[in-house]
Amino acid sequence: MVKNKDIIDVIHEKDLEEFLTNTSLYEDFKKEKINCRYCEKTIYQHNICGIFINMGEIKFICNDESCYEKLISYHGGENID
């Protein structure tokens, strides 16, 4: 199964805001209700590392080293779970 498409790599603050505004997630993000896909830490603007879309859902990754490594291996096409 191909899973490594639709990845949005590390993004700039302005792009992030624009991206989130285009989704329904901006309000959640501002209310700090978004969590890291891997460690479930709350995602803030200062600790966001990447975003990817999996099965139509937007997933956020924090800048924790181990989460980043998982994102990289996902990037390589490995199963995210």
Closest CA to 71 of 1, 11, 21: 11
Query: Which amino acid makes up residue 56?
Result: G
Stretch that binds Zn ion, among 3-11, 12-20, 30-38, 72-80 (CB under 5 A): 30-38
Identify the burial level of 51 via C-beta atoms within 10 angstroms of its C-beta, where 0-12 means exposed, 13-18 middle and 19 or more buried: buried
Q: Is 39 in the site for Zn ion (CB under 5 A)?
A: yes
Q: Determine which residue in the list 67, 70, 71, 74 makes contact with Zn ion, applying CB under 5 A.
A: 67
Q: In the bound complex, what is the minimum distance in angstroms from residue 5's beta carbon to Zn ion? A: 22
Q: Is 60 in the site for Zn ion (CB under 5 A)?
A: no
d(CA 45, CA 16): 8
Write out the residues near Zn ion by the rule CB under 5 A: 36, 38-39, 41, 62, 64, 67
